[in-house]
Structure 1
């Protein structure tokens, strides 16, 4: 089930499913150690007249964020039981605390007793072995621990001025028919077992007296730490400051954080501007404070592959950081580049992917080919794009004077590797493609290496390293020439996605499969967007990869097998991906000569918005017949692509409006968007 409404602070990340059940709890790194381990934590309400969990169909609810913040806002009602309930959740921006505010209303004309139940089911360190939960009589809280992982579950209401819970249940789950302590809550009576170990869970109860046609407020929170003393201190801070104060400062922080964006959102209609801001917040929720930008944190993907997207791919990270840099969040993205500087190998390349703590992530790329010969298990574009976006980062941040360490420890090793890792024609040697499926020479990879070498040359020029300036630029020029000679098909009258080595013929052969990633040839500035060869390539993508159903959107490539829904590839070449659809919109923006020429791009931006979840969350791809999210959700790259396209749309729109009004404007649209300049 797709994840909705991620909430986090860079150390703690919580995800909910579409029913607003708590499903993922990441700590101490965003994306590493899912303390929920796919288990569902319940929230329920008991009255004399009946009981319901928050996901019960009789509890009709709307799930969204509170304005432009990282605070959730859930409104719902249970007509049969005469109750309305509002939930507002957040992760505090200063402390590692998850907060839940509950406002519950009795719509009947008589006083009633209501009990609220917060069930928390975790497997600390990602497994159910050796966990402990106990009731702490001093805190009146449940304490979960294993090793250096501690969590507390607490409650509070101003009724009788008491912070005490009214009951609790602690037990074992997942074996001998034990479902968990949440089952104990359904009769409104908890057993108060004081401790359990092994595979365990716990539920805490809070009792309220609701006046006739009146409301009451209640609070629950979870503190996270590495030691018992840490969570005890956090518990005291929450109680001394009040959970309301923490939630309010979190709301205020995210509203102010968005104000750092340097673009004039007044050019957009309100819904597009709001979606743009929502995308920025969702991107931030998937970023760890130590620099890792995580692809996605939807543990539901485990059901298919027994692995997740909770890794940092340097390619995804670089393009996401680039979108944030263009917005003005340069201090935030600097942590990503420090991460890459620490991660780069002695040979000068970045590996497939990384865990949030900086260690190498799992990989399916082999170190030998079918003939048993050594090959590097890399996607070279991941190394190249870090250099490309790093140059723009320092330009936008105006920090070139502080870039010497990046140049010495990241740029030179990476650029020198890319110089070495090429054939006699100056094309890069084979590596895996951005889709991580094929080993060859790919247009996306070549475009990124070209851009990375030119970025390295720019660094070299700034630091007066003249020999490298010449070498890097000369190699990039040869690479472009090789692309023109070897990666353009006279037969198809467009560029091709890949070259594969034919051993028998001792030469490369073209792969004519149409692929949306060919957009990189203009986006990474190897060729002008208006080049007739690029125009023919992009139009072929739009004509042949557009999904011919009511859903629409652009597929990755023809006969895409990943999560494939149908073999009718003539109608559905693949599932529509948000990033692929937005790449085409980028080209439309880049080539638009009039405001009317931007309409198709605006329509594609709105297509993206219309296929998001109600909260604004974008998946990786959607079902070509139903539009339902597929694969992981949210995908950070989808949101970053939306941000970047909207930035370029605003910039081009502003330039065309000025041109139409007679104002002189010689700024380049892409550069203007990148700098976040307002006119």
Structure 2
């Protein structure tokens, strides 16, 4: 790993411990209180922070500033969410200094303000004098260049700005020192800011002096990061932050999240562990739904350089369809409806939905069409329509988009197999006629047909229903693999020339087909890998009945072949190598969904328990669990994981099978 990448990961690790925000401003945080990233005014883009550090210089103690987030400097930390909120609290104690720092991070609801409250307690026997330092380096608009940092004396604020974004840092307490630009980090570490007022640099520091903290006494210092689309807006936002006490803002935040949770359906049953994760899931999922647009993103971004993956802070129609169904079950249908109002703005002129999108509906970096994305959206619209009481006004708003979308699906059929034409699979790794994608198109066309009947267009409804049933029949005709006792993952799998040669030499059948510009495609007849997504045939799309013997055998093959041997949990598919080939939370819960529908409740509860046992220390669900250690392996939090948990809870509760203690 090169020095530049090592430096980047030191500032911004892949795995974070918590997120906080208000659905317009989002931050990711570490268990030491380190703020790694800050997005505003949308939760996916742009990100603005390079590095933010806070620390103390205690009295005349030699050695300069000690930074809270550095365990090497003698700090120990205990971190958790403030119950019932998206505020993250870290209590830091020092092995030598007689001080405890309780840091609470939250975004103020309805404001472009991040509040960072520091309650500093003298745990010693003598009065304490200290200086508090806030160092900030901003990478505004995810750009390293053309920043300016300036101290505004009239506002007692350090302002970082570039183009149409500005961030003002200040407090209700009057600062005792500042430095803009050149050398700010070095001077901060030494605890001696030089008063430089302006520099065309991204970083700067502010210092507050706190004197005469008596033994046992606590002092609260709020630090606000206020955002705006101009210097004026950011400074005005900071003045808004200063217009109320920190305690008032904190109480407003607590009330906001209490109102949100009270509007949701309470967690069924009475199991405390399930209820706690259910509540945390609803809180996390809200932060992943953009306040302005309704976009639902997969996760807060953690790999913006695409060093190990293709990024996660985008909206996938498939993920969102699962998330909105969870919102429905949780009584939060307003978030679902807002999302689908957004989704119709992301549709292509030809009626398709592409793989993933930014908050404004524009196409994000992608690998090509995934036909399950658009079909999942239409299916999700129907699920919401049923949940919402079959309101005709929702149909009227969605219908033009549904009609175009279903027409695209109807044309995207291979006449040879009766399945949807080749597209990328749900894991974005291979091009084929995927069985899961066929099930999703079945679900989308069936939903579109139901909408058409509500519109009185029975001819169109019959056409789409007939096509959906043909797809279901084609799955049975072409996609069963008796050798493995499971459905094929797909047909007409495109592979590399060398993989093709090796597969054909091993007995596989395939075809080399001419392509454009004299290129060739190397296509295997079948993809026989067992994949968790095959459960999608039955749940959620219903292309194959749950009790179909083939479906039952497929689920059993999934459990036998994909259970991780050391730590349990279900992998995505055979020979998965992504991040080492770990079990995933959502895949484990997916099998739990199927077992619930089968009536195999003990097994379903076991899969639910797996999620409960593999939360992060802050109570969030990751994407993956390390196959060797059982620790969190990748992506925190993953919205889809939380949605699958909420759905699993309701599926068991609806059958009276949710654990109560």
> Do residues 636 (structure 1) and 639 (structure 2) align?
yes
Which residue of the partner structure matches residue 568 of structure 1? none
Cα distance between partner residues in 2 of 1:602 and 1:41: 42
> Do residues 496 (structure 1) and 488 (structure 2) align?
yes
Preserved contact between residue 155 and residue 206 of structure 1 (Cα < 8 Å): no
Which residue of the partner structure matches residue 132 of structure 2? 116
Which residue, out of 201, 204, 229, partners 2:203? 201
Scaled by the length of structure 2, the TM-score of the pair is: 0.89
CA displacement at 1:399 relative to structure 2: 5.2
SS of the residue 1:403 aligns to: helix
CA displacement at 1:460 relative to structure 2: 0.8
Which residue, out of 47, 50, 56, partners 2:70? 56
Identify which range, 404-413 or 530-539, moves more after superposition. Answer: 404-413
Which residue, out of 44, 48, 59, partners 1:31? 44
Which residue of the partner structure matches residue 46 of structure 1? 57
CA displacement at 1:357 relative to structure 2: 2.2
Q: How does 1:149-548 map to 2 (within 5 A)?
A: 149-156=165-172, 163-172=173-182, 181-198=184-201, 200-209=202-211, 210-265=213-268, 267-289=269-291, 290-300=293-303, 302=305, 304-305=307-308, 307-363=310-366, 365=367, 377-398=368-389, 400-424=391-415, 425-500=417-492, 502-503=510-511, 509-523=525-539, 524-548=541-565
SS of the residue 1:223 aligns to: strand
Cα distance between partner residues in 2 of 1:14 and 1:543: 40
Which residue of the partner structure matches residue 579 of structure 2? 563
CA displacement at 1:483 relative to structure 2: 0.5
CA displacement at 1:303 relative to structure 2: 5.9
SS of the residue 1:128 aligns to: coil
CA displacement at 1:555 relative to structure 2: 0.7
CA displacement at 1:655 relative to structure 2: 9.3
Q: 1:423 to 1:113 in 2, by over 3 A?
A: same
> Do residues 8 (structure 1) and 21 (structure 2) align?
yes
Q: 1:460 to 1:656 in 2, by over 3 A?
A: farther
Preserved contact between residue 11 and residue 29 of structure 1 (Cα < 8 Å): yes
Cα distance between partner residues in 2 of 1:114 and 1:79: 17
- Write the deviation string for residues 5-56 of structure 1: whole angstroms up to 9, x where unpaired: 21111211111134321111101211101101xx231111220336421222
Cα distance between partner residues in 2 of 1:656 and 1:591: 17
Preserved contact between residue 263 and residue 647 of structure 1 (Cα < 8 Å): no
- Write the deviation string for residues 594-653 of structure 1: whole angstroms up to 9, x where unpaired: xxx423322222222222210112222122112333332222111111111122122222
4+ long deviations beyond 4 Å: 504-508, 654-657
Cα distance between partner residues in 2 of 1:401 and 1:486: 39
Preserved contact between residue 298 and residue 315 of structure 2 (Cα < 8 Å): yes
Which residue of the partner structure matches residue 496 of structure 2? none
Which residue of the partner structure matches residue 84 of structure 2? 68
Cα distance between partner residues in 2 of 1:186 and 1:345: 52
Scaled by the length of structure 1, the TM-score of the pair is: 0.87
Preserved contact between residue 93 and residue 250 of structure 1 (Cα < 8 Å): yes
Cα distance between partner residues in 2 of 1:579 and 1:301: 23
Which residue of the partner structure matches residue 567 of structure 1? none
- Write the deviation string for residues 541-574 of structure 1: whole angstroms up to 9, x where unpaired: 111111111x22111111112122xxxxxxxxx2
Which residue of the partner structure matches residue 675 of structure 1? none
- Cα RMSD of the aligned pairs, angstroms, is 2.0
Which residue of the partner structure matches residue 372 of structure 1? none
Cα distance between partner residues in 1 of 2:639 and 2:361: 19
Preserved contact between residue 424 and residue 430 of structure 2 (Cα < 8 Å): yes
Preserved contact between residue 384 and residue 453 of structure 1 (Cα < 8 Å): yes
> Do residues 590 (structure 1) and 607 (structure 2) align?
no
Preserved contact between residue 586 and residue 645 of structure 1 (Cα < 8 Å): yes
Which residue of the partner structure matches residue 92 of structure 1? 108
